[in-house]
Structure 1
């Protein structure tokens, strides 16, 4: 049987570290036995800077592990400067529209909800230009996400955003989203009438790349030594230090645990934040001003090293700001479950990841904004450090992942749903 052609619009793609880029890479590579795949994305630039070798031409063609990659040159940007970010995103959007003409015949067009609104519109464009079937993969709903964190106060702007994204949903042949609560959001948008065909497929992590390591693993030990974590009880946040996680308030909860706080098994408690993002400088300033010597900031880890940093944490945060239920799904959970780590969940009841944590009894959860309860849950881990119950939480998460949330299970579902159209 001749393979069908599938065009994917991916704002970021490897080697960029954006979580959506990683997922799309694994999805594309996992479906190569059924499709010829072309990806349109930006030149590597997730952290804002661009290597000189990507600054001379408009487009760069590459092949990575059997996937054709067509990269678009975009201007550099700063994550804290709105204007430069907008310019960068618009360059991708218009560049991707033009690049569509360079990709030959396509049977299917697949786009993701990144960048907000524009990702969906690119898919509609691709459908029209290529006379193809369109799959819209919604990882985050906008304008709902923008409204949840008050990023804009303009009803006019959010109404226009909603109109465009509903338009993208209506024009799609299939909406794929990543949580039970996100499926409800699609239904609510259309008030139950003429709802586009929608299915849920969980995100994943490659469970063969991330798995539990022994405490004395030399690379885990080296990571802990490098960042002053050895011999300590590490409560870790790993991922994007950005707008949608209420981190500016969570750091105030962390402040309640004074330097020198010890666990029941006499280890000093440290809070480690691994990653980068628009809120990082604010957190660093707060920690400095309040002399929080038990907080450490660690840069983004390459994907190959993620297994060591995740294993260096004793307990991991998985958090969202209030209002994110049904809007976004923190994919970092899959890495924590893969590494068999217990979770401090700050997530709304009924949200996909909270359901997974509660179904497996893989950690302690409470609502965003319940700061006293968050403190209480952290104290529970400090008071039970070294006990079997904490280890068992992580093991249950890993076992469920191996059965229900592997890369192969999810990628197979994607291929089946697309080929059924």
Structure 2
């Protein structure tokens, strides 16, 4: 008989949150070995909730043989803190209620989303189900909040850190997604026993994202639709959020406004998007384009439409978070301009595979000079991307990471 696995996913298919996609693929990969129940929100990543999901507290669904308990949450606006907090708290309390409907479980698995509360949910699930508990930290909080100054209350920050440390201590294994994050976990527990932990990289499905020729009809169509034809395309694909310093990097990009054969394309959405849009409009940056999120099946075409990809983190994010977009960029065989701290996981991936160039966050003069150098040497820079694809195939395949999860879960 299969062992039973309860997953607190927050977001899950069809929501486009990167953690939702990772957890959807992880659960799909573990299905043969586990009977899986997922507790997640009703589809709502864009802040909207369909009317059919507003009627009941818990909606039971099946997805590829998995049991989904989707919990009701209120609609929210990404820039409105109060509405976001209400949404998150609704998920937290409704997920606890849904746990009572989940039956017997052998293993509980939660992630660090929503911040702090994701870990607490796992601890509650462990106690209610008397099960083993695996805590997957995608982002360390409140460290991430501190790094960008989103909250400066020492009381709140210290309380949140203490709560997340408690979740780590109660976990049978803490899974972290970058080598640099291991040091952060150790720093949290200086002078104390560090919880059992393992580093397992995130991934992209390399069978769905791979290099395509420029003349591919869908790529040609994508470029025509968004006026990228006959341009050297710098692309930033994914969440346009708080932790990437894009509100300052856009000012550097603005210094290339007269490069008529170069275009900077932002594909996706997020809390900082309107800030970028406003800057572009106010400063007449005609070679900056904003493109909506692409459906998962179309991501291969948008990623391949770029000549170079921009992968960034704000200063201070090293060891706290790994931008998961790096895996899709490398899988598509495209070169990378990384604005990343030395020793951070994403920068190590770029440097070790030699698939691009890196500069440090906050060093805007170097960002500008590196963009200028790339524009000057377009052909040679584009060739570097093939090394990223090779690294994915040799070391970072999706099944490699999922097999490591399966092995870890089965040992417990």
Structure 2 CA distance for aligned equivalents of residues 323 and 40 of structure 1: 32
Structure 2 CA distance for aligned equivalents of residues 55 and 344 of structure 1: 43
Structure 1 CA distance for aligned equivalents of residues 408 and 332 of structure 2: 29
- Equivalence for 2:363: 370
Q: Secondary structure at the match of 1:10?
A: strand
Structure 2 CA distance for aligned equivalents of residues 380 and 337 of structure 1: 21
| 2:390 pairs with one of 383, 393, 399 | 399
- Equivalence for 1:231: 230
- Equivalence for 2:321: 328
Q: Secondary structure at the match of 2:125?
A: helix
Structure 2 CA distance for aligned equivalents of residues 338 and 351 of structure 1: 19
- Deviation string 1:268-326 (CA, Å, 9 cap, x unpaired) is 10000011111111110100000001101111111111111111111000000000000
- Equivalence for 2:348: 355
Structure 2 CA distance for aligned equivalents of residues 351 and 65 of structure 1: 36
The answer to whether structure 1 residue 311 and structure 2 residue 310 are counterparts is: no
Contact 2:307/2:334 (<8 A) preserved = yes
The answer to whether structure 1 residue 380 and structure 2 residue 373 are counterparts is: yes
Structure 1 CA distance for aligned equivalents of residues 199 and 92 of structure 2: 26
Structure 1 ranges of 4+ moved more than 2 A: 389-392
- Equivalence for 1:167: 166
- Equivalence for 1:30: 29
Structure 2 CA distance for aligned equivalents of residues 247 and 46 of structure 1: 21
- Equivalence for 1:409: 400
Deviates more, 1:112-121 or 1:370-379: 370-379
- Deviation string 1:94-144 (CA, Å, 9 cap, x unpaired) is 000010000111000000000000000000000000000000000000010
Quote the offset at 1:391 in angstroms: 3.5
- Segments of 5+ residues of structure 1 without an aligned counterpart are 263-267
Structure 2 CA distance for aligned equivalents of residues 403 and 3 of structure 1: 31
Contact 1:234/1:270 (<8 A) preserved = yes
- Deviation string 1:210-265 (CA, Å, 9 cap, x unpaired) is 11111000000000000000111100000111100000100000011023x15xxx
Quote the offset at 1:193 in angstroms: 2.3
Contact 2:310/2:337 (<8 A) preserved = yes
Q: Secondary structure at the match of 2:182?
A: helix
Alignment of 1:10-409 (within 5 A): 10-191=9-190, 193-259=192-258, 261=259, 268-385=261-378, 387=379, 389-409=380-400
Q: Secondary structure at the match of 2:370?
A: helix
Contact 2:40/2:68 (<8 A) preserved = yes
Structure 2 CA distance for aligned equivalents of residues 61 and 402 of structure 1: 38
Number of corresponding residues? 412
Contact 1:29/1:66 (<8 A) preserved = no
Structure 2 CA distance for aligned equivalents of residues 391 and 368 of structure 1: 22
Structure 2 CA distance for aligned equivalents of residues 401 and 246 of structure 1: 27
Quote the offset at 1:409 in angstroms: 0.1
Contact 2:307/2:382 (<8 A) preserved = no
Quote the offset at 1:63 in angstroms: 1.0
Contact 2:6/2:105 (<8 A) preserved = yes
Q: Secondary structure at the match of 2:384?
A: helix
Structure 1 CA distance for aligned equivalents of residues 202 and 223 of structure 2: 29
TM-score by length of 2: 0.99
Quote the offset at 1:192 in angstroms: 5.1
TM-score by length of 1: 0.97
